[in-house]
Structure 1
Amino acid sequence: MDEGESARYERARICIDFGTALSKASICLDPMLPLEVGVKPLPIGAIARGEHPLLTPSVIYVDGGRLFFGPAALDHARRGVETQRDPLLSFKTVLGATNVDQALAQKLRPSMDPTGTFINRDALVLYLAYLDQLIREAIELAPNIPNAVVNAKRRYTSPVWKPGSGADKTFEAIFNEAAAVSQKLGKLFHAQEGISIAQSKDALDKARLQPGNGMLETGIFEPHAAAATALAFTSAPTRFVLVFDMGAGTVDFAAFDFDESTEPPALTEIKEARQCSALAGDEIDRILIELYLRKRGGEKSREDELRLLRTARLSARDMKKELFTTGKTSLKTSGWMATTIRINELMEDQNFRTYLTALRNTMAASLNVVLQRAEAVGATAVDVVLAGGGSNLPFMPDLVKSAAQVRPHNIQVRFGPLSPANPLYNSVDPSLRDIFPQIAMSVGGALVEMMPAR
């Protein structure tokens, strides 16, 4: 790539969002371009042969001396239930750890890596290298994205806000090592037969001694990225925005005061409203699994119990999706008839009702802070932006309504998913209707410099 071509895209940014369940990536070619031209989600799921073209499962699986990534890893994990093996399912725990270096240095559990070869840091470097390969191929094959932007500066969305904590220095080193591993192993990441442990270890060792340039610019606080997306795409801007980002691992609440009087407009966080809670998608999965196990009855042996639990855990997300879409779901395990759960059984389950109450109270605590701020300056409306994979769950609207009624106020609370299904965001491409709440963080992370936090 010549320097002129490179300079043309010096404002381009690629943002990676490592979801607990699914990873996404988006590119902003130039924040000065119109949104529909300048901002594009990258089809990394299509390259990975995933179920959705824009999403790839955040999974690594070690099997038979080889490593598998994404959809291939998930396939192996489902087959590995009999051998008491677990996939490495989430990088969020490392990203969100209080002591990042300590978390990175921990060995993977024997059920994940029976060879005892890898630590968390190795897994994150390898997974990032895998994502880098998906991103490169997605850009190469996309008809409307110039190849020159493949080396644009990178960002990642973070579940925690850590200005000046030194965490970015750590992640910069990880991105740099991942760049070297990506270059060394290249197309092997796409191979159906996986990559051998020996090749992976060799690439990791060499990358530590001679890192590449991972082009990491910064981490972006996830709700900040979601707020930037909401404000960039809204057809009816308002001053106060509360982001309710429900992922698989955590629910994040963060509120922002949007000041259009500055150039560029400023997005200032209302820090008193910030909360991070474990009342997320995985907690619904846990309640669903417990309900399933109670309804189905016990197993004959401890070994059979553990096998059943592994099967249920790997199937829980699909079961939840089916349950909320069709009103019922079932799971059949070897030697048993299928056990069916209906939506009303979950809604009436005491554990689920307790969960909903706790989630509503958590939301009300953040929302009250924003409502007070809005009342103090005479604002008339507050937006509650539902983002993340859980934003389309059918009980969400009632939950927001209920949280808004915890204390009396005269502010209009507008709410709905960060999706073109919501009239507030009708400038989003309608074909992204169902998926936009999930990719919104990677989109906003690529865009966010348009509205810097003061």
Structure 2
Amino acid sequence: MAGSVAVGMDLGTTFSCVGVWRNGRTEIIADAKTGARLTPSCVAFTEEGLYVGEAAAAQASMNPANTLYETKRLIGRRYSDPSLRKDINNFSYSVRDNGNNSPVIQLQYRDEAVELWPEQVSALVLDHLKKVAENYLDCEVTEVVITVPAYFSDSQRQATKDAARIAGLSVLRIINEPTAAALAYGIHRHTYGHRTVLVFDLGGGTFDVSLLDVVQSQYKPARYTVKAVTGDTNLGGTDFDRILMDYCLNDIRKRHLMELGTNVRAKIRLKKECEKAKCRLSVSMTTVIDVPGLIKGRDYSCTLTRAKFDMLCSQLFGRTMQILRQFLSENNAEVSSVDDVVLVGGSTRIPKIRSNLAELFGESKIRQTINADEAVATGAAVLAAIVSGDNSIDNLHIADVIPLSLGLADADEKMVVVMDKNTSIPARVTQPTWTTVTDFQTRCRLKVYEGEFPLIKDNLLLGSFLLENIQSARQGVPKLAVTFSVDENGILTVEAVDQATKNNKQVQIAARTGRLSVQEVDVMARTHARFTLEELVDSKDDQSSSSDEEMEDEEEEKEEHQTQEDIERLEAKAKDRLMSLCFRTKLLFGSVSSRDVINDADRAAVLRETDDLLEWMHTRAPNGRECRQKLVGFEETLKGFHEQIAYYARS
């Protein structure tokens, strides 16, 4: 594997993708295993091994407690956050407080209790995108530009950066998602002059609004200046899905006099169908939510109109417009001054969202010229090329802002703002008049907060540090200069200096309070391989040695259990096992590095057989017995490559 290319990654709540700048344009890279350009942000731990992406999402209803999704809503958050607690109650997996007010995920993996930080789960998704890019580009990928919601806190940004480090990626830049989308919108727009662009980004789990000044000139680098941002990191497409799901659960109670209760598997199946129905209503006025065998073997079906959907979700639609209108008002931005409204995120395909925006700004200003799902990764790929020194792309200037005010706690537990929200970054601001509160005080603990409330108890504590050897004097006499510096990634560093003694202390706050330490991130980076390729190969060994016995047990179990639900479970398990082996085989044999130990002809033959099996499962809808028979034959094919695969995985 020769050379290295910097890529852009959009690590989304529900879907993620990776892009690259090549041959004068951006390319969103499709996963060779599935052909999809969007990868579900989903990770599953099973008896057979680890799944990431489509394979993980496909088996979620069979393995709900160990299938992890929407973990972006956990990353960098406090366990005590009320909105987070609400999300946790809706998850099928277990999340607990680690004792330091940080959420950690609990699951079972190969009969062992495993505890993961959200950063580790995100690292697995990033690692998957890394491999997708490497297989396509035929070179190593170690540098990346990663996007985050504009309204992500300092803690969430640092946690995202930690996830990349765990995955073995060096972060060139963190860029706000709406800024990346604006970059994607402007890069191929050859209209020179000044335009005011509003990016409305409603994705799977987060909502952002950004206002930018975009200046493009024929002779100078383009300038993208973010004027202001706002948003809600707990508002997105998945919230619409849950409203539909609650509607269906209530319908089941009324029509069937039944409760799904703790049947997590049934709820996951229902939520998937609700999501599909939501998408169908973007192109049709009526759809049917149909879930076979949902209620004790009985089918569930209900008709849903777009008007009904709009009514059910009216509160969410109202929230998006309330946030938008308040944003425009706070920043003295007239609707008439906005030239372009760029729609980003899959949830902007909802007709009611578009009609609300058209009513406010006018239909002519709504821009749908970029792919709403891929725009963020496209912009990240452009920035990755520029930052890494790619001479094939014109340079440009990006000035982003901090989303929330930064400040210090005073003696009355009030927030003293040092850096206002929407300050352009990179930025450096000094509070020159900080002082002591007691006589002859020689030590001072500085507590750094983020937020807009006057009292610190309502804001987010980012961290604290101790400044010692302060001039011994009456209270108020020492003069401490406290400087806040925010880099282009939105990461905060704080420095305090006693102006009399010149004693100083500088700390990258990085919201380490309750977060992973630098040492913990290093350990996770070194042990990350446990959950990647070597585990997949080991699981192949385990599965091959026991599959015959397991299949016999399943046949006996199928004879013993006569309920439709049990039969469906065993059928699904057989298909899941074959699909799992196919996906892992494509990963192993499709990898660039595997070429060193397996010749091209053998690799091509195995990949053809794998594709044929996947196509067979897709078109034939085989039963469990047919899948088990195919599994035995496919494992025989792979036995001949056991030594090469094991050597490759451990090299």
Counterpart residue number, 2:51: 68
Aligned equivalents of 1:246, 1:134: Cα separation in 2:
26
Q: Which residue identity lines up with residue 399 of structure 1 in the other structure?
A: N
Counterpart residue number, 2:172: 217
Counterpart residue number, 1:202: none
TM-score by length of 1: 0.69
Among candidates 340, 343, 353, match of residue 386 of structure 1: 343
Q: Which residue identity lines up with residue 283 of structure 2 in the other structure?
A: T
Counterpart residue number, 1:155: 145
Deviations 1:60-113 (A, max 9, x none): 111226221111111221333xxx5352112422446369x9899643144899
1:232 aligns with 2:206: no
- TM-aligned CA deviation for residue 281 of structure 1: 0.8
Counterpart residue number, 1:137: 135
Work out the number of aligned pairs and report it: 363
Among candidates 242, 247, 258, match of residue 203 of structure 2: 247
State whether residues 107 and 114 of structure 2, in contact with CA within 8 Å, keep that contact through their aligned partners in structure 1.
no
**Secondary structure at 2:69 match in 1:** coil
Aligned equivalents of 2:351, 2:102: Cα separation in 1:
40
Q: Which residue identity lines up with residue 417 of structure 1 in the other structure?
A: Q
- TM-aligned CA deviation for residue 23 of structure 1: 1.0
**Secondary structure at 1:442 match in 2:** helix
- TM-aligned CA deviation for residue 218 of structure 1: 1.7
* Cα separation, partners in 2 of 1:49 and 1:118, compared to 1, 3 Å: farther
Aligned-pair RMSD on alpha carbons? 3.5
Deviations 1:202-249 (A, max 9, x none): xxxxxxxxxxxx232121111110111112133546511110011010
**Secondary structure at 1:324 match in 2:** coil
Among candidates 298, 317, 324, match of residue 356 of structure 1: 317
**Secondary structure at 1:372 match in 2:** coil
Aligned equivalents of 2:250, 2:233: Cα separation in 1:
26
* Cα separation, partners in 2 of 1:301 and 1:359, compared to 1, 3 Å: closer
* Cα separation, partners in 2 of 1:232 and 1:258, compared to 1, 3 Å: same
**Superposed, which structure 2 residues align to 1:4-23 within 5 Å?**
13-23=6-16
Aligned equivalents of 1:160, 1:18: Cα separation in 2:
13
Counterpart residue number, 1:328: 287
Counterpart residue number, 2:549: none
Aligned equivalents of 1:248, 1:54: Cα separation in 2:
16
Among candidates 1, 17, 30, match of residue 43 of structure 1: 30
- TM-aligned CA deviation for residue 40 of structure 1: 1.5
* Cα separation, partners in 2 of 1:384 and 1:28, compared to 1, 3 Å: same
1:452 aligns with 2:413: no
Counterpart residue number, 2:73: 93
* Cα separation, partners in 2 of 1:173 and 1:253, compared to 1, 3 Å: closer
Q: Which residue identity lines up with residue 288 of structure 1 in the other structure?
A: L
**Superposed, which structure 2 residues align to 1:237-386 within 5 Å?**
239-260=195-216, 263-271=220-228, 273-276=229-232, 278-297=234-253, 300=258, 303=261, 306-326=264-284, 327-334=286-293, 335-344=297-306, 346-347=308-309, 349=311, 351-368=312-329, 372=333, 381-386=338-343
**Secondary structure at 2:179 match in 1:** helix
State whether residues 85 and 112 of structure 1, in contact with CA within 8 Å, keep that contact through their aligned partners in structure 2.
no
Question: In proportion to residue count, which structure has more strand?
Answer: 2
* Cα separation, partners in 2 of 1:371 and 1:176, compared to 1, 3 Å: closer
Q: Which residue identity lines up with residue 69 of structure 2 in the other structure?
A: L
* Cα separation, partners in 2 of 1:109 and 1:417, compared to 1, 3 Å: farther
Aligned equivalents of 1:389, 1:104: Cα separation in 2:
32
State whether residues 10 and 146 of structure 2, in contact with CA within 8 Å, keep that contact through their aligned partners in structure 1.
yes
Q: Which residue identity lines up with residue 242 of structure 1 in the other structure?
A: L
- TM-aligned CA deviation for residue 307 of structure 1: 4.1
State whether residues 361 and 403 of structure 1, in contact with CA within 8 Å, keep that contact through their aligned partners in structure 2.
no
TM-score by length of 2: 0.50
**Secondary structure at 1:295 match in 2:** helix
Among candidates 125, 144, 147, match of residue 127 of structure 1: 125
- TM-aligned CA deviation for residue 173 of structure 1: 5.0
* Cα separation, partners in 2 of 1:259 and 1:281, compared to 1, 3 Å: same
Counterpart residue number, 2:488: none
- TM-aligned CA deviation for residue 368 of structure 1: 4.5
State whether residues 249 and 278 of structure 1, in contact with CA within 8 Å, keep that contact through their aligned partners in structure 2.
yes
State whether residues 110 and 116 of structure 1, in contact with CA within 8 Å, keep that contact through their aligned partners in structure 2.
yes
Greater Rg over alpha carbons, structure = 2
* Cα separation, partners in 2 of 1:290 and 1:235, compared to 1, 3 Å: farther
**Secondary structure at 1:151 match in 2:** coil
1:438 aligns with 2:357: no
Deviations 1:8-51 (A, max 9, x none): x8xx630111111111111124xxx7xxx33221113xx2415x
Q: Which residue identity lines up with residue 320 of structure 2 in the other structure?
A: L
Q: Percent identity?
A: 19
* Cα separation, partners in 2 of 1:117 and 1:96, compared to 1, 3 Å: closer
Q: Which residue identity lines up with residue 166 of structure 2 in the other structure?
A: E
State whether residues 127 and 167 of structure 2, in contact with CA within 8 Å, keep that contact through their aligned partners in structure 1.
yes
* Cα separation, partners in 2 of 1:104 and 1:27, compared to 1, 3 Å: farther
Aligned equivalents of 1:48, 1:89: Cα separation in 2:
20
Question: Structure 2: which 5+ runs fail to align?
Answer: 80-96, 387-395, 400-423, 425-651
Counterpart residue number, 2:568: none
Counterpart residue number, 1:116: 113
Deviations 1:124-167 (A, max 9, x none): 33332222111111223xxxxxx4xx43631111124679x587
Aligned equivalents of 1:173, 1:286: Cα separation in 2:
30
1:402 aligns with 2:385: no
Larger RCO (CA within 8 A; separation ≥ 6)? 1
**Secondary structure at 1:278 match in 2:** coil
State whether residues 340 and 365 of structure 2, in contact with CA within 8 Å, keep that contact through their aligned partners in structure 1.
yes
Q: Which residue identity lines up with residue 340 of structure 1 in the other structure?
A: C
* Cα separation, partners in 2 of 1:312 and 1:291, compared to 1, 3 Å: same
- TM-aligned CA deviation for residue 257 of structure 1: 1.2
Q: Which residue identity lines up with residue 304 of structure 2 in the other structure?
A: R
* Cα separation, partners in 2 of 1:355 and 1:128, compared to 1, 3 Å: closer
Aligned equivalents of 2:104, 2:270: Cα separation in 1:
25
